[in-house]
Amino acid sequence: MRWRQWMREYLTFTRKEKIGILTIALLIVLIWIFPRAIKSSKSQIPLGDTSWITAITSLQHKENDSGNGAATNDESLNELVYDQTARQRWNEARHKLFYFDPNSLTVDGWKKLGIREKTIRIIQNYLKRGGHFYKPDDLKKIYGIQPDEFARLESYIQIRTKSRADSTGTSNAEFKRSFQVHNTKYSLVEINTADTATLIALPGIGSKLATRIINFRDKLGGFYSIDQVGETYGLADSTFQKIRLWLKLENVSLKKININAATKDELKSHPYLRWNLANAIVEYRNQHGKFSSLEDLKKVGAITEEIFVKIRPYVSVE
């Protein structure tokens, strides 16, 4: 039959041909299996196994602690967090350095210097409890201030000598001279008597900002603290920190509002009172009679201790 003849002619192999076919088949199988075998061996490493991380961390701690004694677990953790996250953030903030007084720097100012929020809270609590920085090295005592961080800030720390004049915000002679020597281009400006031309002469202050500062001063009834200038609408904290060195406060004569006679409209015109406080004061007065002393303002529900301290210099009971 023809088909049997065809089978014998085309599907009959010699011994050498059979060996060749088997060799090719074996190579194909090996090529197909080899990549999968490698992938399988890699997947055998447990993904959730973090023991190698612990080992590396332990070695790092041993190197850091050699010669310094054994560190506590909290200290080791702080160092690890500092090395991996804070150092990068502080390095990024190098271009934002400026001269500052740690006794009066605002929260935003600390943030611009690259200080962590937790450390800022520690500084603020220290100052609120009556603490004071007398020399730059005092900042190193704050928990959370790392050695290389202090080294970065040290040359920019300018602490005003604590004196009687500080109670009114007036800089003493030593403080004035230190900054006049640093930059003789600018002169000290008395913030309660300065006009727009005087303010424009300060770094970063144009006619618009100068006008806003004066308008804010007039609405307040005068400044009782240099820090109040920083509350001016549109005045960036970085700009305020630059001009703060050249501001002084010698003429403190504030315009006061009689809370026993003022109307709601008169009260709300003050930047620190606005409508909600003005309404609360007048309603309390209508229900309980005139205020016998400024301390009575604390009885008004909407007035917190912080608000009371802020508005007290601008109100009177007569």
Q: In degrees to the nearest 10, what's the CA dihedral of 118, 122, 128, 134?
A: -130
Strand 257-258 relative to strand 315-316: parallel, antiparallel, unpaired? parallel
Give yes or no for residue 82 having a pLDDT over 50: no
The separation between the first and the last C-alpha atoms of the chain, rounded to the nearest angstrom, is 133
> Amino acid letter at 60?
Q
Average pLDDT, the chain: 77
pLDDT category of residue 64 using cuts at 50, 70 and 90: low
pLDDT given at position 182: 46
**Residue 91 and residue 147 in one domain:** yes
Q: Is 105 inside a domain boundary?
A: yes
Q: Is 215 inside a domain boundary?
A: yes
Average pLDDT over residues 273-278: 89
Domain end residue (candidates: 115, 137, 159): 159
Q: How far apart are CA 7 and CA 203, in angstroms?
A: 101
Overall number of domains in the chain: 3
**Residue 171 and residue 139 in one domain:** no
Q: Can you give the CATH number for the domain in which 284 is found? A: 1.10.150.280
Give yes or no for residue 129 having a pLDDT over 70: yes
Domain end residue (candidates: 226, 248, 270): 248
Highest mean pLDDT among 11-25, 163-177, 201-215: 201-215
**What are 147-160's pLDDT values in tens digits?**
888 888 887 788 87
**Residue 120 and residue 186 in one domain:** no
Helices (H), the chain: 2-10, 15-43, 51-65, 73-81, 87-92, 107-112, 117-128, 147-153, 173-182, 196-200, 207-220, 237-244, 264-268, 274-288, 305-311
**Residue 168 and residue 197 in one domain:** yes
**Residue 144 φ/ψ region, left for φ over 0, alpha for ψ in the -120 to 50 degree band, beta for the rest:** left
Residues in contact with 105: Cβ distance below 8 Å, sequence separation at least 6, in sequence order:
241
Q: By the 8 A CB rule, do 277 and 270 touch?
A: no
Instruction: Identify any residues that bridge with 279 across adjacent strands, giving them in sequence order.
Output: none
pLDDT given at position 41: 58
**Residue 92 and residue 149 in one domain:** yes
Q: How far apart are CA 188 and CA 209, in angstroms?
A: 18
Percent of the chain beyond pLDDT 70? 69
| pTM > 0.85: yes or no | no
**What are 102-111's pLDDT values in tens digits?**
988 888 888 8
pLDDT given at position 17: 79
pLDDT category of residue 223 using cuts at 50, 70 and 90: very high
Instruction: Identify any residues that bridge with 315 across adjacent strands, giving them in sequence order.
Output: 257
Q: Can you give the CATH number for the domain in which 210 is found? A: 1.10.150.310
Domain end residue (candidates: 115, 141, 159): 159
Q: How far apart are CA 109 and CA 102, in angstroms?
A: 10
The residue among 134, 161, 306, 310 whose CA lies nearest residue 227 is 310
Q: Which domain holds residue 302?
A: 257-316
**What are 67-80's pLDDT values in tens digits?**
444 444 444 444 44
**Residue 155 and residue 168 in one domain:** no
pLDDT given at position 164: 39
Average pLDDT over residues 239-250: 88
pLDDT given at position 173: 47
Q: Which two tokens stand for residue 135?
A: 């020399």
Q: Is 43 inside a domain boundary?
A: no
Give yes or no for residue 254 having a pLDDT over 80: yes
